[in-house]
A and B are shown apart, each in its own frame.
Chain A
């Protein structure tokens, strides 16, 4: 038998095959003695496991076992900020806190720009210094078009 076939026998047993694949496995089991024996072994193993796992009792007293759980729960609860224990405050914090942070950031970025634009026009009128001696420049500013053009002359 091919490895592919033995895996398919198992998949068929587990109900993971359908249609033509399932039919081909059925045919294989009917025709091949080795396939039939393997299927039988897999089936009794599966039904043995279906009896479930061995029952086990916690090897500790009820009180001792619970005490550790309770201690851990109380430790995590006291570590939480008190406001989170109140559902409506939690909701406020969850929704409004991020929105507040975003608003504050936007204000921080926009306010200085507004302030600067009121004090001096944007680009127009700003002085451009050149570190090179032989470089000259001519600037044209059209207020109507809202446009500034700078010609740079290197000769």
Chain B
């Protein structure tokens, strides 16, 4: 039986191979290695600590059950991230109560509100450290709706194309483009506001 130190020295591919043979200690090492990244992604989407923990743990359980399907076409972390994203999307869908859309939401969907927002001409992120910039973006993203945040996460953090996002979110490409446009414009305005608050 390999010692814990042995696992820490091995790369992901080797650990995945061992886990596929039923080696749970190898899988535990994978969890230890990537748990923070998956938790952060889940948190970015659901914005709730407990839910993010539960969803990331559920993703690991699902991964163990589906390890046989992982063929190594992408990195293990990429594969895991897709699992956690799908779980978060299901979770958000279950939570949603689509009674009616507010006038503002309807406007967002049809592209009215963002046209009235003044363009932010001075980049409020200029000169910020990477950590500070990430913190401000995180603050601003926390103020967006789930639909707008999700489209930003999938496009900007996950690097998905419009059609892939549309498929995942169960909407048209036009809706994705409209939501992405609104989300970016709103984010720009929120970042400008944050910058002003700090300067005062």
Contact = CB atoms under 8 A, between A and B. Distances in A.
Contacts of A7: 111, 177-178, 181
A49 B144 CA distance: 14
Interface residues of B, number: 50
25 contacts: A7-B181, A10-B180, A11-B177, A37-B121, A41-B119, A41-B121, A42-B184, A44-B125, A45-B187, A48-B125, A48-B133, A48-B137, A52-B134, A53-B44, A53-B153, A54-B137, A55-B36, A56-B36, A56-B40, A56-B43, A65-B31, A68-B57, A73-B64, A73-B65, A76-B61
Interface string A50-75: 11111111111010011011101100
Contacts of B130: 51
A34 interface: yes
Contact of A53 (B41, B57, B61): B41
B191 A41 contact: no
Contacts of A52: 134, 157
When A and B form their complex, which 7 residue pairs have the shortest distance between CB atoms, in order from nearest? Answer: A49-B156, A56-B40, A54-B138, A44-B123, A54-B134, A72-B61, A48-B125
A3 B177 CA distance: 11
Contacts of B161: 16
A59 B41 CA distance: 14
A15 to B, nearest CB: 9
Contact of A48 (B115, B157, B191): B191
Nearest to B120: A41
Contacts, number: 116
Contacts of A54: 40, 44, 134-135, 137-138
B168 interface: no
Nearest to B35: A58
Interface in B113-161: 114-115, 119-121, 123, 125, 130, 133-135, 137-138, 152-153, 155-157, 161
Q: Is the interface of B mostly helix, strand, loop or mixed?
A: helix
Contacts of A21: none
Interface in B28-72: 28, 31-32, 35-36, 39-41, 43-44, 49, 53, 56-58, 60-61, 64-65
A57 B36 contact: yes
Contact of B31 (A50, A51, A56, A69): A69
B185 A65 contact: no
B177 A58 contact: no
Given A14-B162, A49-B152, A52-B134, 18 more contacts: A6-B115, A6-B181, A7-B111, A11-B162, A16-B161, A37-B119, A44-B123, A45-B185, A48-B125, A48-B137, A49-B156, A50-B156, A53-B44, A55-B36, A58-B53, A65-B53, A69-B64, A73-B61
Contacts of A70: 24, 28
